[in-house]
Chains A and B, each alone.
Chain A
Amino acid sequence: MNTAQQEQRPQATAERAVVHSQTHIGHGAAPCHHGELLQGIFEESNGKETLGLVTLLHSSAKAKATFIPDPDSLSLTVSPTYKLKALSSVKLTLQELGLPDMGGHLICASCISEELGLGSSTADVVAAARAVCDANQRTLSRETLARIAVCAEVASDPIMFESSTVLFAQREGHIIEEMGPLIPAMSLLSFTLGEPIRTCDYRAPQYSWEDLQQFKPLRGLLRFALANYDLATIARVSTHSALINQKHVPKPKFDAVLSIAEQGGALGVQIAHSGNIVGMMFSPDDHNLLERVSLCQGRLADIGVYQSAFHSTF
């Protein structure tokens, strides 16, 4: 805020203060995700074939955003300055709220590693939108947030849906199917394979009709597994989805990782289809959990994967 300007235009400042009397500093947060359980091409109820995915939400790491409305300014700024997608989310959210002229400053604070496919930029975008809403004491539906996220980015994971599991059209920003309740909690051994992929560089595979048909039984199985809170079956779905993905966007050492998971007693493997993060999925109720995990960690080191982290999605 420029003090000199303020002194020159006391009248204008007073008017803006009235307009923005409902605003205060707004806060927003959004979870990241740990890649996907399922990603491919799916038929919508109208027969259209759409790229879609089911995200594995990971609430322990969050992006936070603070929006400070500035009644004296028409401009919007962000820090750190490179978070341009978050800034564009602020603009889109203000438009959606009917406040296209509001100025202000957005501060992003995120502990999510970028470019691993953890949805760091989507989390910033959603946190920013929520911060803007909070500043104006308004709320937007999950569907509208999803649309804003897809507009602000090219593709977005559905991290704004935190109460159910959805099959989401990541490039169009709508739900293809409400799949069922939230994914049950699991323990994850996570690591990376290959180089990071930037969301904007990722090109969706060209799926044939055979590919299209391959995803059908998987979609059915995920529906069944969610309805039955069946983590082992969910892990089968994600392993299959990762295997199909290998044909299109192969991850190095994936076969070795699969056999380590199998021999080490993991339920399955899940990946970031457009990133390089990989997770071995374990049941949190497993009595031998820690032994299994350290066994897998050792075997991973044997194939050159030295860094891995063990955590839970709950």
Chain B
Amino acid sequence: MKQVYSSISEARVLPELIRLDDNLIAAKFFLMKLLPAKFILERALKNGDINEDTVVLESTSGTFGLALALLCNQYNLKLILVSDPAIDVHLNNRLIELGAVVDIVTEPAAVGGYQAVRLERLASYRQQHPNHFFPAQYENKMNPGAYAFFAEQLISAFGSIDILVGSVGSGGSMCGTLRALRAIHPQTMGVAVDSNMSMLFGRPDGGAKRIIRGLGNSLMPQNLDHSVFDQVHWLNASEIATATRTLHKTHGLYCGPTSGAAFKVARHLATLYPEKRVVFICADEGYRYSETIYSPSWWQENNIVESERQAKAPRCISEPTMDVQDWSYLPWQRRSLAEVLEPTSAVSTA
């Protein structure tokens, strides 16, 4: 074990493994996106795809941008991030302080919203800077590939784990970790947690109504391989916010909402299967959410309630499109999205 690290990215790239119960383990990252960002950038540096004049370009309003900013600062690389007004002011300040240029698009496109304008802006930067590097977290196979480091850490500590639970955004962490774990233990169960306002697993997209950021998406990332999951769970905003604060109240882990959502499902599975070892992913810390998830006034403004009526266990559904507003889950059984959405046609072609 190293005692002195050469950089923040080296020191904080892997999570701390914290046992919350006999069979429930939190994998608590400082900033999970450091792992893929570091892997992608450092390999590009090694291969000579990046030189001192290269401009790194990415479209992001979240933690992948922060990870890139930390690394580009460390390696003295120019970084341009294209973002939209949803970016929070503290993150924006931090990115700028680390030396990134943050270009915030102001007007959404009639078709495709902010995302379309962001991609358009990104394309023009790519043209403007022929010597650029585009990490492309949503389609770069090195994003999931980077999580072999995490799988090594889990296997080194536990030998095997039975159930891995995590929220899904780009698909990188869950798909990459599961693939690496299953190279050795194919039976490892993969459980995805999504927002009930997200289209990632076949529900209608809630768009701006998806008030909790970090899990779910309005676009389908290429890196999301649905067929790695054994179960998919959907949670509503109140359930996610409550679980995030419960994680803090009961275990002192001050994390973001993706962690809270994963914790809720993981705790349920750990209780249900006391003989199984359950690991869940805490992808970031809670400080970014002090004015949202951890703020009583935000709860009021958004009608977030810690209701006694919140479901103690998920309702099992057979189709993602079923109109269920509370915690629900679907036995996904490692099928593709098409197979889940149209089970009959998949059977008939088989």
Q: Which A residues lie at the B interface, using CB under 8 A? A: 45, 47, 209-210, 213-214, 216-221, 223-225, 228, 230, 233, 236, 240
Contact = CB atoms under 8 A, between A and B. Distances in A.
A213 B42 contact: no
A94 B151 CA distance: 46
B145 interface: yes
B159 to A, nearest CB: 5
Contacts of A236: 184
Contacts of B148: 213-214, 216-217
B180 interface: yes
Nearest to A233: B159
A22 to B, nearest CB: 42
Contact of A217 (B43, B142, B146, B180): B180
B159 A209 contact: no
A217 B159 contact: no
A78 B68 CA distance: 59
Interface in B1-57: 2, 42-43
A53 B184 CA distance: 19
A218 B142 contact: no
A213 B180 CA distance: 8
Contact of B184 (A45, A47, A218, A223): A218
A42 to B, nearest CB: 10
Contacts of A218: 184
- Between A47, A209, A228, A240, the greatest number of chain B beta carbons within 10 A of the residue's beta carbon is seen for A209
A interface, over-half SS: helix
Contacts of B158: 224
B184 A240 contact: yes
Contact of A230 (B43, B159, B181): B159
Nearest to A45: B2
B153 A220 contact: yes
19 contacts: A47-B42, A209-B145, A216-B148, A216-B151, A216-B152, A217-B152, A217-B180, A217-B181, A218-B184, A220-B155, A220-B157, A221-B156, A221-B159, A223-B156, A224-B156, A224-B157, A224-B159, A225-B159, A228-B159
Interface string B150-170: 011111111100000000000
Contacts of B154: 220
Given A217-B155, A219-B152, A220-B156, 17 more contacts: A45-B2, A47-B42, A209-B43, A209-B142, A209-B145, A213-B145, A213-B148, A216-B151, A217-B148, A217-B151, A217-B181, A221-B155, A224-B157, A225-B159, A233-B159, A236-B184, A240-B184
B34 to A, nearest CB: 14
B267 to A, nearest CB: 25
Given A224-B155, A224-B158, A230-B159, A217 B2 contact: no
- Between A219, A224, A230, the greatest number of chain B beta carbons within 10 A of the residue's beta carbon is seen for A224
Contact of B152 (A210, A220, A225, A230): A220
Nearest to B147: A213
Given A225-B159, A228-B159, A240-B183, A220 B151 contact: yes
B38 to A, nearest CB: 10
- Between B42, B149, B183, the greatest number of chain A beta carbons within 10 A of the residue's beta carbon is seen for B183
B164 to A, nearest CB: 13
A233 B159 CA distance: 8
B interface, over-half SS: helix
- Between A213, A225, A236, the greatest number of chain B beta carbons within 10 A of the residue's beta carbon is seen for A213
Given A224-B158, A233-B159, A217 B42 contact: no
Contacts of B151: 216-217, 220
Contact of B183 (A45, A214, A224): A214
Sorted nearest first, the 4 A-B pairs with minimum C-beta distance are: A220-B156, A220-B152, A213-B148, A220-B155
- Between A209, A217, A223, A228, the greatest number of chain B beta carbons within 10 A of the residue's beta carbon is seen for A217
Nearest to A213: B148
- Between B148, B180, B181, the greatest number of chain A beta carbons within 10 A of the residue's beta carbon is seen for B148
Given A221-B159, A233-B159, A216 B149 contact: yes
A217 B145 contact: no
Contacts of A228: 159
- Between A45, A218, A220, the greatest number of chain B beta carbons within 10 A of the residue's beta carbon is seen for A220
Contacts of B153: 220
Contacts of A216: 148-149, 151-152, 180
Nearest to B10: A47
B184 A221 contact: yes
Nearest to B182: A217
B80 to A, nearest CB: 25
A218 B180 CA distance: 10
A230 B158 CA distance: 13
A218 B181 CA distance: 10
A47 B74 CA distance: 15
Contacts of B157: 220, 224
A214 to B, nearest CB: 6
B74 to A, nearest CB: 13
Given A216-B152, A221-B156, A228-B159, A210 B145 contact: yes
Interface in B67-98: none
A220 B14 CA distance: 14
A213 B184 CA distance: 13
Nearest to B159: A224
A209 B183 CA distance: 16
Contacts of A221: 155-156, 159, 184
Nearest to A48: B46
Contacts of A214: 148, 183
Contacts of A223: 156
A55 B149 CA distance: 23
A272 to B, nearest CB: 22
Nearest to B142: A209
A47 B151 CA distance: 18
A49 B180 CA distance: 19
A220 B42 CA distance: 22
A228 B155 CA distance: 13
